[in-house]
Structure 1
């Protein structure tokens, strides 16, 4: 049996009395795109820093790329790629100078350096601006360069920490196309993000909340965890309907989605009649009610609600 490229058991990190990461168990297979999803402050970055050998765990056990996260941190660093939220670029250096600097940091031989530089230019698509200062590049270009630098030493595992934060939608889409290409080459990608729509692109997802993994599965299987019905409602006054439903705590949850109302209900058709009567009583006409498939956001919110003490 092939050993997972990432494996942890009860991985924990404490800062004083505060538990940032609480007994996290992760298993990532080679070649996967693993999405590590959670809101800001959920423990994503702390976890990724422990997995990368940057931060000492408080307790637990695990291996990354075959190396122990406690005793072989330097080996881990040598065998992975890491792209931080701030891209770790040197703004006062040109594109080519950044590539040369990181080739030196990875101690690549002259022969490997030549190949690595061409590969970096290919991935970043920045050869035409190789003499431009990095600080002057658009954010999307910096993003591609940062990824290219993380791949210079040909790691089989790359950690991407919030790689699309602050990037425009087109650059985000192009970046994910690039991630797919790398995955097709057999590279394992561990991606942290709080954009739940991005999680749809992943092979498997781990959902983290308040330092704990609350679910871990493929996007399609995670959606089966949603044990309520989700309805999309169009009415004569959606804003007022939303406010009334919220005030009366009607259903499990209610939200505005574009110009429609999304309502989560128990699986009981009689509730729909109650909804129509409620709207009519408040002089609101319901034009349509459609049952729709839950999104990962619905699943995540549902799982978080389950975690709350009753």
Structure 2
């Protein structure tokens, strides 16, 4: 039996993402019977069902196992086609970066600016995404560089540690000088765990190491929101160094260094192994260096 085509893999991905044959067929501009027939052929090739069709359409364990590989194959093909088109037309190539928000405060913009100044024919794009989602994005060739707090566990990638995150107590300016222990009874502004389990668990862990359980009143999905809520007197927060440094001139806020311990979150810059010796590898190392230089080298006033 012949190997499945990229088109068939795209149909497989579409049904996995949409969960309904009709919706997937419309998204792929194909009739529903034709889509069903193509997926039956794919299941015949695999030798087992990829979808449960009743009571609702959902992936079987075999389908779940194959989905990331299908995305990687289709993503690689799309990337190949895009680069080939750029080379054929003489236009610049593109490097896509996935990043969590803190990297935007730890030298990533400066690294990108310097890189594109030296390599003007290369276009660099960024896409903010959670650390967890960047794994599939990198393997699926949606991005070329992953900047996050989770190392990608795959033999085809290279993970380079960038910097370890230190934390600062962020309070309204009128509470300047208050210690974390003294702030124990105050409401906390904290990352929602579904948005960033690493930040959530780290902040809770720091509080517990100081002898109390944080009273979580406000949960956010961005540091900008957390800092702004503190500035309005709605609570206190523990913010990583890049955010504390970028907000230190805000007269509404006061920051003091907190001992985070050896379990503070580690930042990682990850690329596909195949890109190590090219422009992607060069830019990734520039991001690593910028991150390390921005972490704690510039002093902050407590």
What is the TM-score normalised by the length of structure 1?
Answer: 0.29
Structure with the higher fraction of residues in strand conformation: 1
Structure with the higher fraction of residues in helix conformation: 2
